[in-house]
Structure 1
């Protein structure tokens, strides 16, 4: 069903074609109700009678529609016109990662920036029980502002138990996909997908490893002359050592990729959250050394950051020494055990404390998984009863307000807060990554963030608003400013500067 400019699908006016693939045709369109441009994917009428193709199209809309994350394409609407179903998504300006890689491998710092975003998007999907199963450069879109979006959940699988019989692995053919093979795209499928076995989150992690390898080397990890040879390579061979293709790649990245590409799913990263954590921390230090910026630039900014830390630590120690009482007392340690909430699994986020006591010492918050999703549970220290805090699905990296009235946390690409006494959660601001924050007595919240082009420490009001950068470095400088922590005076803070 080819649509001409000016034709309509319900409230959507077709503006121009954007492309076509095995799962349908994509058009730029205008939503007459909201006055915005959108992307409309239409399953051709000639294919709408194919039950399998129709099922996969509907599955894409259903899977993507329940996801709300800045690194996953947003689905606005679904509908049917002349027996042809369509799905409406946000309109993206930029290019696919495949187009970006046409110019050769990416710099390690850029590759890691993209990879962290992809890992966060996968983690959000996996937490909702959704596995992509067809992750590849064609399904990753880089917007003009540097944000990476995961596209096309046409092969996505809801991993929660289904009422029907077991799902079969049916053949598929999409652009860049070998025909007549099990679900996925040849060259990026995991060994278990090649064998026709069920795919879970670890299959996406294998595909992720193949993509990261290609971003850094400019070569496909398992590409061979024939489909049979490629499948054999996925099952039995290791990709060429990265040091032979790109000398700037630090060993830590090679180790992460090898861990992703383990043939046995049990030997891979068990979650995208764990993967993102490994990319954010060890890689930050070693990757920054690979770029080899000019010596003056390398010394100037890290020196300022380190001097700032030293001065702040010195000031804090001076205050403590001046205020220290003449007669020192020795505190008595208190040891006690805390059972996790019944029916849950203790599961702190990648950079989270996992468990914390309120500043007034009266309550306890635990991050635990219930029904497949991480949530926050609170209990008074003088009670054994936990209460789930409302609106905390997917919560990670929580921290308290100084008056112990609220708990802030990261979820769905946002910073939120929830009353400790109970009540709905409230969104405060967008968050690029889940890092621990700190909450000052004047209502200021500080966060470490690494948005494209402007890494640093940002502040936002505890009433919400747009984050404002208060401390940063030049984007070309290999320094990461992490983990701000307010000092007791509530006006100064410490932070960690990671540099070569």
Structure 2
């Protein structure tokens, strides 16, 4: 039966319903012993007589309680109500789900989406370390709650381990019922869609890939009229490139999402730990403490971060106006004399392979360091910055020597350069000179993109100056001095 305000269930007094579903109801309640509010999840009495359903219900509480992580919902208690229905009590979270947030924020800012996804990845990494696969990860099951110690002011909390399973368990003794889909179609991995009993942590990797895709693109990878069609698409249809739906997604991030959505589990990012590492360069870094009494009302970075630019995963100050003014004067001078001059200077690139190794690396870690060093070099050679980031972070975790730090600097620099190079290419194709120049200035001169970036930027500047010079000549020929002055002012603004 439905509980009403004031009714007691265990040591909890019901205040009001919070939500309901096909299997039960969630209430807000007060813990009469400890004086704290809690969320009570009650299984419907009609279902509480089914042993398998009750076991799965309590499995949710046990799974969440066994994971000690700030981004996993905290379980307080489990028990039975006097009417025979099972229940468990958990921490009451005051916030909103990713699904609800997406109703008002169709496409999340890149850094915010990456930060949220990284939090989810670390939480599920902790679950996987306990041998627990969520199997129903979706935007409805991730809450965004205020946390003053998190850089974006909110923490992602993973909920609803109701169909979680221990990976590696014997399928013959699995309690999952044959022929019953376990999961939500829009976020189910291909192996889940096939009804495979031996799903592992890579099923959650696929689901998180779907969520990241949706946070960035404003829609999940696959859309269809019915769940059955979506299930088929997960198995047989290639997902769209997220950049086809949102052009500002950098290529390395798009590649990471595509890899997480691979049909073959062996081709996906291997673990949530690796996923979190690969998301690092795109996420907001650091710790942000909000003033007391100020709630988080919008999905934005703190003001100090919002006014800055992101470079190599860190917050840097906005560019000053001095470079813009220098270029303004250059453009005006070229318009006056109708001459072109493009001078690009650069310093030689350093050879990271010759970076000194630390003699303090423990001997027993030497073999693993050698393997990881080779993996980093191989990834750099093929410009696979996702694999390079993962390998170099594992190297640092094994032996944080100076060589590993130098490789990390190189990889982070190249990742940032690749992002900027994609922006530069896009700006050049659309002849957006100002955006192209900003992107060019973020490309490190030691990066492998240097020569191509210089060539593209030279063409972009040439096109820009030629266009303005032609306009100036036409105005001068027509003796339209006023319009010529306005053109020079425009060049000043655009410079």
TM-score (ref. length: structure 1): 0.57
Any idea what the Cα deviations from partners look like across 1:138-174, whole Å, max 9, x if unmatched?
1111113411100000000022546x94315427xxx
Question: Unaligned stretches of 5+ in structure 2?
Answer: 148-153, 286-300, 320-356, 373-389, 402-407, 409-441, 443-495
Displacement of 1:91 in angstroms is 0.3
The 8 Å contact of residues 190 and 235 in structure 2, kept in 1 or not, is answered as: yes
Number of the residue aligned with 2:158: 150
Max radius of gyration: which structure? Answer: 2
Distance 1:209 1:132 in 2: 14
Q: How does 1:64-463 map to 2 (within 5 A)?
A: 64-82=64-82, 83-103=84-104, 104-145=106-147, 146-161=154-169, 165-167=172-174, 169-170=176-177, 181-197=180-196, 198-281=198-281, 297-298=308-309, 302=316, 337-338=363-364, 350=393, 353-355=396-398
Number of the residue aligned with 1:469: none
Distance 2:233 2:86 in 1: 38
The 8 Å contact of residues 273 and 349 in structure 1, kept in 2 or not, is answered as: no
Query: Judging changes above 3 Å, is the alpha-carbon distance between structure 1 residues 147 and 349 closer, same or farther for their aligned structure 2 residues?
Result: farther
Distance 2:60 2:22 in 1: 13
CA RMSD of aligned residues (A): 3.8
Distance 1:263 1:334 in 2: 42
Query: Judging changes above 3 Å, is the alpha-carbon distance between structure 1 residues 338 and 16 closer, same or farther for their aligned structure 2 residues?
Result: same
Distance 1:199 1:161 in 2: 10
Query: Judging changes above 3 Å, is the alpha-carbon distance between structure 1 residues 68 and 350 closer, same or farther for their aligned structure 2 residues?
Result: farther
Structure (1 or 2) with the greater helix fraction: 2
Query: Judging changes above 3 Å, is the alpha-carbon distance between structure 1 residues 168 and 53 closer, same or farther for their aligned structure 2 residues?
Result: closer
Displacement of 1:55 in angstroms is 1.8
Any idea what the Cα deviations from partners look like across 1:7-38, whole Å, max 9, x if unmatched?
11121111111001133210001111111101
Query: Judging changes above 3 Å, is the alpha-carbon distance between structure 1 residues 294 and 53 closer, same or farther for their aligned structure 2 residues?
Result: closer
1:353 is paired with a residue of what secondary structure? Answer: helix
Query: Judging changes above 3 Å, is the alpha-carbon distance between structure 1 residues 156 and 349 closer, same or farther for their aligned structure 2 residues?
Result: farther
Displacement of 1:200 in angstroms is 0.5
The 8 Å contact of residues 101 and 215 in structure 1, kept in 2 or not, is answered as: yes
Question: Unaligned stretches of 5+ in structure 1?
Answer: 172-179, 286-290, 306-330, 359-434, 436-478, 480-500
Number of the residue aligned with 1:409: none
Displacement of 1:54 in angstroms is 1.2
Distance 2:186 2:72 in 1: 23
Any idea what the Cα deviations from partners look like across 1:236-293, whole Å, max 9, x if unmatched?
11222222222222212211110100000000111100000000036669xxxxx9x9
Any idea what the Cα deviations from partners look like across 1:413-445, whole Å, max 9, x if unmatched?
xxxxxxxxxxxxxxxxxxxxxx9xxxxxxxxxx
Query: Judging changes above 3 Å, is the alpha-carbon distance between structure 1 residues 126 and 348 closer, same or farther for their aligned structure 2 residues?
Result: farther
Number of the residue aligned with 2:418: none
Displacement of 1:222 in angstroms is 1.4
Displacement of 1:334 in angstroms is 9.2
Q: How many residue pairs get matched?
A: 319
Distance 2:305 2:243 in 1: 23
The 8 Å contact of residues 96 and 140 in structure 1, kept in 2 or not, is answered as: yes
Displacement of 1:68 in angstroms is 1.3
Distance 2:317 2:61 in 1: 50
1:187 is paired with a residue of what secondary structure? Answer: helix
Displacement of 1:354 in angstroms is 3.7
Displacement of 1:109 in angstroms is 1.5
